[in-house]
Structures are given as structure tokens and as C-alpha cells.
Amino acid sequence: MKRIVRRVWPAAVWLGVWQAGSMAFAAIYPHGALLLASPLASLKALCGMAGTADFWAAVLRSTLCIWGGWLAGCLLAVTLAAAAARFAAVEELLAPLVSAVKAVPVVSLIILILVLLDSRALPWVIAGLMAFPPVYANVLAGIRGADRQLLEMARVFRVPPRRQLWGIWGPAVLPGFRAAVSVSTGLCWKAGAAAEVIGLCAGTIGEGLYTAKVYFQTAELFAWTAVIVALSALTEHLALWAVDALAGKAGMR
């Protein structure tokens, strides 16, 4: 019960602040409710949207694109991190690319990719790019942090590569990879939603955000934002659960 209270009361406080701000705007400005919709109005808008097939189609389409891009970025990052740990030339070759992806503003990447590719591929590519740097850096650091004495012992006793992978390399990489997964999922959802808005991707959450902005529907804007936050948290928990399940099955935990 205490754990539930600790999780609930901060949210209740900020909802109260949101409600107070909405009431203050409504009292000061003639159309204050349009500037800052109340939590109740946003919830009502969300319930209305959830009763339509278009809403669920947009949620599914955005989830598949962003989640697919995240997964592709993670797989590519793990593969290239392993290659960079083995060959110094690979790390040197990738260093400028990783630095550029980390430093270049997301909106610049979105516009550049939109010029080169179709808008339907935009969220997928952006999500992959956002996932790549943290996963690559953490996996590379984990590989280099593996216990050298254990590796030497494995070499002396001729431990099979598969057992070395799950018994030595896996535990060394797992903490950093898990942290990168937690960070990258949120980044992918933020950048992916922004890509959908800028690219005007039809039938997506980003299109819903853009429409709400154009017609000044702040309740719908908050509702779509809440959907993105919920999906980001859900996919993060699912990804971490999958990583923990795989690690437990392989005996790394």
C-alpha cells in the first residue's frame, strides 16, 4: 500500500497543478480553456478518441514503426559494437558517425531524411538513429569491461565460444545494455512522434497531434501526448522484461 501511495501522490499533485493552471487561464482570458485544457477535458477527449477505429489504427501504425526502428537500431548497434571491440579500424570509422548522430538536432535529421526518403519510412529511420548511439556506446563499454582473468582462464581451459558468450561477455554487457534500452525507448518515441508530425505521416499519432494543433484542440493535444507517454512507458517495460527474460534463460542473472 505504501508503494502505491508513493507512486500515486506525485501524479495527483501535478494533476492538481495542471487543473489550477487551467482554471487560472479560464479566469484571466476569455477563451482560456482553449489555451490550457483541464485534465478532465483531456480525459474526455481521450475517451472520445478511443471509441474510434482510426485512433487504434494510428496507435498500431505508430507503435509498429517506432518499435521496429528501435529494434533495428539496437540490433545494428550491438553488431557494430562487437565489430568495433574486435577491430580498431571499425571503431575509428564509426566514431564520427556516432558523434554526428548524438550532436545533430533531431529536427535537422528529420528534414534531411525527409528529403532523401519517403515520409512513411521517416519514423522508422529516426527511431533507429535515436536508439543506435546509446546502445552502441554501452555495449562497447561492456565488452571492454569484461573480466580479463576470466577470459584468460576460458582460453586456457578451452571453454567453447558459446559458453564464453553467455558466461563472460553477456554478464559484462548486460547492465549497460539494459540501461541503454531504458533510455533509448523514450528517445525513440519522442523523436518518432516529432518525425510523424513534421513528415505529416498519414494515419499516425503524429498526424493526430498536427491536426489538434491546427484546429487549436488543446484537449486532444494533451490526450495524444498522454498516449505517447503511456506507449513509451509500456514499450520500455516490455523491452526490459524481454532483456531480463533472455538473460535469465541464458543464465546471466
**Shared domain check, 208 and 195:** yes
Instruction: Identify whether residues 17 and 66 lie together within a single domain.
Output: no
Averages of pLDDT over runs of 10 residues in the chain (253 residues) are 83 92 85 83 95 95 95 95 93 93 91 88 94 95 84 78 77 91 94 93 94 91 95 94 84 61
All three cell numbers of 246: 533472455
Residue 153: its pLDDT value, please? 79
User: What pLDDT digit, counting tens, does each position of 53-65 carry?
Assistant: 999 999 999 999 9
Same domain, 65 and 147: yes
Closest by CA to 87, choosing from 134, 140, 131, is 140
Residue 51 makes CB contacts below 8 A (sequence gap 6+) with none
Question: How many domains does the chain divide into?
Answer: 2
Note whether 63 and 2 are same-domain residues.
no
If asked whether residues 25 and 87 sit together in one domain, one would say: no
Domain CATH number, residue 181:
1.10.3720.10
pLDDT of residue 253: 59
- SS3 of residue 150 by DSSP: helix
Question: For position 33, what pLDDT does the model report?
Answer: 73
Quick one: which of 123, 104, 99 has its CA closest to 189?
123
Statement to judge: residues 6 and 45 lie in one domain: no
> Are 81 and 187 members of one domain?
yes
* Residue 138 lies in domain: 39-249
> What is the model's pLDDT at position 155?
79
- Identify whether the C-beta of residue 203 lies closer than 8 Å to the C-beta of residue 54: yes
| Same-domain status, 21 and 44 | no
Locus of grid cell 500500500: 1
User: How far apart, in whole angstroms, are the C-alpha atoms of residue 116 and residue 125?
Assistant: 11
The verdict on 18 and 98 lying in the same domain is no
Q: Are residues 15 and 86 in the same domain?
A: no
**Residue 108 phi, psi dihedral angles, 5° rounding:** -65, -40
Residue 37's H or E segment, with its range, is none
For residues 149 and 53, membership in a common domain is answered with yes
Residues 9, 123: one domain? Answer: no
